Structure 1
Amino acid sequence: MKLSRIAIVWGVLLLAAACALFLYFFERHTEEVDLGFGPEARRNPYLAAQRFLDRLDIGHRRADNISVITTLDDRDALFLASSSQIYNPDRLRELLDWVDAGGHAIVIAHRGRGDNEQDLLLEALELEVTSGDLDLYFNRQVREVFGEEASELQDKTISELMRDHNRKLDEKDSENTSGESPDSAEPDIEGSVSTPRNPDVDPERLVNLTSDSGPSYAIYFNPEKVFAHEMMGKGTDADVNGALLHWVPFQNMPTQSPLVYYERGRGRLTLMTDGGLWQNDRIGEFDHAYFLAHLVGDRELVMITRPRFDTLGTLIQRYALELFFAGLLALAAWIANRSRRFGPLTPPPAAERRSLLEHIRACGHFYWRQNRGVSLFDGARKPLLAKLGGNRNLNADRQRQIAESVAEKTGLAAREIHDTLWGPAPRNEDDFTARLRSIQIIEAAL
């Protein structure tokens, strides 16, 4: 009994000593891990822009597709994430009419992969989207990997860049292993490395816009796609079909512009080639967010980012009553159309039978077409000659006597009877028919 109590006491003491040693040597360490955007931000690439507008008390809402244009007021602003959302000429006309009435549309120009893909808005405005400057230094992925070294590696291929980059990483790893710590960035209060908000971009690549009210905005447009127009390079604006066209070119590249806008009627139509300017990963750079607020102003922004149309199930639920009555009408029309078939069956009509004369006539035509008319005629007059007691070998006087005697009984001409009984076979259908009729008359008279 005493031994068990002593063991319990010693166990408690050892546990207390282990806890004390753990608390004495334990050191709290905080580390921040970037897990990327949350689920809501991944679903909505413009979530940061919407929250920024909320902070400025600028009204905004999302719409499903371009059909919302018929419900907009001339004091609203419309944002289209792609010009391809204008899918037919009617929607294009509605958009331009709304802009003429005082609306403000902000559209991201879309260029498809196929050369034959049609963009109704760009065609109507006579604008062309072409490839811009693809300098490696201004490629975001290359800058993130190589940093400042990208500006010194312009003439190398991607494989050479990656090989040099891996070699330098190996050298840094060996220096860290030997105890020589490389230069590091200045840590902030939390112990993490502070990173600049704006990417390292050549100032010549920034577009600086100055508003009429005074503020200026520095914006970095991705130069991969730019606008091209025949009037660019000759000024900063031009009259195109009655609408004043303005463009903002890159520095040292007056013929390429990432931003153009039209003054149409009482409204404005703004087009940009960079679709990621206000998305979550770039809206915090430079003055992108403030430029969005400047374009919207005191209007209410309607955003169409991902077009969505009602599914068949949604339409059925919405118009269930109409579909029900339409089905009843269709059923009633079908019953009315089929009602004459209801009741006893009508007896089938009696089958028609052809006469014997029709069969004989058909056989005659068949034999005549088979060049068997001579045998038919000889077969018809041979019994008649046998009945008269003569044949075709009689002399001429006897044939004349028989023809004259038969002519007195039948009323036919003696010459006609002679040709029928002893003449050559007929050569055409009319002669054949006349000879057979004569044979029938002679047989009836005898």
Structure 2
Amino acid sequence: MKRRTLALVIGLLVALLVLFGSYLLSIAEPYEEEVKHGPSPEARANRFLAAERFLEGQQRKVSRASGLEVLDTLPSKGQTLLLLADRDRMTPRQAERVLAWAEQGGHLLFVAEAFWDEDDGKSGDLLLDLLDIRQYDANDLETLEEEERSAPEERTQRWRKPAPQGTAQRAPTVASGDRHPELTKLYLENEDEPAYFGFDTDYHLYDAQNRAHAWANSAQATHMLQLYHGKGVITVVTDHWLWQNRHIGKHDNAWLLWYLTQDSDVTLLHHAERDDLFSLLLKHFPQALVAALLLIALLLWRRGSRQGPLLLPARPARRQLEEHLRGSADFLLRRTSQQRLIQALQADIQRRARRRHPGFERLPVAEQWQILGRLSRQSPSNIGQAMRPAGKDRVSAAQFTRQVAYLQNLRNAL
């Protein structure tokens, strides 16, 4: 009976579980949840990955370059070089090489990196200075215009170059019909509406030589200039943020990249400065680098440790006056020469002799030795051994000790 009762209880529990599961399945509703894991490691490492994928999707041949040495093998015709890397380490020779490449028929696109300095007459950006294109802070344009009105005529003419017919170097003020004054606009022929781009409106480009044949303006500033250079074309922009992964999908930013690179292969140079070995090790192998540094420190500590047993410090009771005197004498002997010690003893003897015999210092050496012998009752040979001048050469320990003993006996006798 007990087994039958236990089986009934287990069966009842299983039935209840089945009924409860059936009820949960009847009220459950399936749903989808999107979990965002953020950008992929490749996208985090490459700010222009989306731009590369977009151009490849437009049947462009896209390649990356890590330095300007790519110009040695890169043909000019049918090529667009997107020079988006920092150029603070570019040399004048490299700048001339880049412009010569564009002059042979290539399309060069680069970002203006420095503001024009009126006092120096240059910006420091080698490419901008060679092309005489100037970048200003858009917030300072009104101040510059006010200064122009009060400046000499020649300066005003230098700032306001004649614009091409039907165009203007600087965009007009905000018009009443401008729906997006904060965006940069590019007007094309046979198009009623302009293309809109998300350039940073804090910068303004100025073509001092009036060479630009195309440009793009926001309501207050110019953000893109394009000019012919020999057989090629050069495009200057104020920033490249609109083509980074987060911004290329906004407005017509991707279309502008397609428009500027159409009918050509594309080479992107957006990370010209290579990391050094230490930076790469610190980035990818920090634990191994720390372990190596600790190992080096341990080896230096091991090599620098003293060999043999440690000498226990002497008890204070052993530090008698004689030990202090001996230690002081050893220190003086190491720090000074034998001649200096002998000369000090001889000078002390002469001071004592002057006190006992006034005018001692004015007597000849022979008479001084006679007086010393009479005052100390020492033999002339001992006086000669003690007071003879110290030589420049180092003497033996026995000779040095003997002369010091003669001097001490003579000084004690005075």
TM-score by length of 2: 0.51
**Offset at residue 258 of structure 1 (A):** 0.5
**1:128 has 2:134 as partner:** yes
Q: Secondary structure at the match of 1:274?
A: coil
Of the candidates 207, 218, 226, which is equivalent to residue 196 of structure 2?
Answer: 218
CA distance in 1, matches of 2:275, 2:218: 45
* Cα distance, 1:202–1:280 mapped onto 2, change above 3 Å: farther
1:443 is matched with none
CA distance in 2, matches of 1:309, 1:59: 24
Q: Kindly indicate whether the alpha-carbon contact (under 8 Å) linking 1:82 and 1:109 is maintained by their aligned counterparts in 2.
A: no
Q: Kindly indicate whether the alpha-carbon contact (under 8 Å) linking 2:205 and 2:224 is maintained by their aligned counterparts in 1.
A: yes
**1:41 has 2:43 as partner:** yes
**Offset at residue 130 of structure 1 (A):** 2.5
* Cα distance, 1:85–1:124 mapped onto 2, change above 3 Å: same
**1:301 has 2:266 as partner:** yes
**Offset at residue 79 of structure 1 (A):** 0.4
**Offset at residue 49 of structure 1 (A):** 1.1
Q: Secondary structure at the match of 1:54?
A: helix
Alignment of 1:244-393 (within 5 A): 244-246=211-213, 248=215, 250-253=217-220, 256-309=221-274
1:207 is matched with 184
CA distance in 1, matches of 2:42, 2:277: 27
* AA partner of residue 41 (structure 2): P
Q: Percent of pairs identical after alignment? A: 27
Q: Secondary structure at the match of 1:262?
A: strand
Q: Deviations over 1:313-358 (max 9, x none)?
A: 9xxxxxxxxxxxxxxxxxxxxxxxxxxxxxxxxxxxxxxxxxxxxx
Q: Secondary structure at the match of 1:205?
A: coil
Unaligned runs of 5+ in 2: 141-177, 279-414
* AA partner of residue 96 (structure 1): L
Q: Deviations over 1:158-197 (max 9, x none)?
A: xxxxxxxxxxxxxxxxxxxxxxxxxxxxxxxxxxxxxxxx
CA distance in 1, matches of 2:13, 2:23: 15
CA distance in 2, matches of 1:101, 1:230: 23
CA distance in 1, matches of 2:28, 2:5: 34
Alignment of 1:116-265 (within 5 A): 118-133=124-139, 202-211=179-188, 217-230=195-208, 238=210, 244-246=211-213, 248=215, 250-253=217-220, 256-265=221-230
CA distance in 1, matches of 2:139, 2:42: 34
CA distance in 2, matches of 1:81, 1:251: 22
Q: Kindly indicate whether the alpha-carbon contact (under 8 Å) linking 2:103 and 2:231 is maintained by their aligned counterparts in 1.
A: yes
Alignment of 1:407-446 (within 5 A): none
TM-score by length of 1: 0.47
* Cα distance, 1:230–1:307 mapped onto 2, change above 3 Å: closer
Stretches of 4+ moved more than 6 A in 1? Answer: 114-117, 212-215
Q: Secondary structure at the match of 2:217?
A: coil
Q: Kindly indicate whether the alpha-carbon contact (under 8 Å) linking 1:83 and 1:119 is maintained by their aligned counterparts in 2.
A: no
CA distance in 2, matches of 1:83, 1:104: 19
CA distance in 2, matches of 1:7, 1:284: 65
Q: Deviations over 1:414-440 (max 9, x none)?
A: xxxxxxxxxxxxxxxxxxxxxxxxxxx
**Offset at residue 29 of structure 1 (A):** 3.3
**Offset at residue 62 of structure 1 (A):** 0.4
Of the candidates 80, 92, 96, which is equivalent to residue 95 of structure 2?
Answer: 92
Q: Secondary structure at the match of 1:258?
A: strand
**1:58 has 2:25 as partner:** no
CA distance in 1, matches of 2:89, 2:190: 33
* AA partner of residue 256 (structure 2): F
**Offset at residue 78 of structure 1 (A):** 0.2
CA distance in 2, matches of 1:213, 1:104: 25
Q: Deviations over 1:20-79 (max 9, x none)?
A: 121122233334354432222111111111111121111110000122122210121100
CA distance in 2, matches of 1:213, 1:307: 40
Unaligned runs of 5+ in 1: 135-200, 232-237, 239-243, 314-446
Q: Number of paired residues?
A: 235
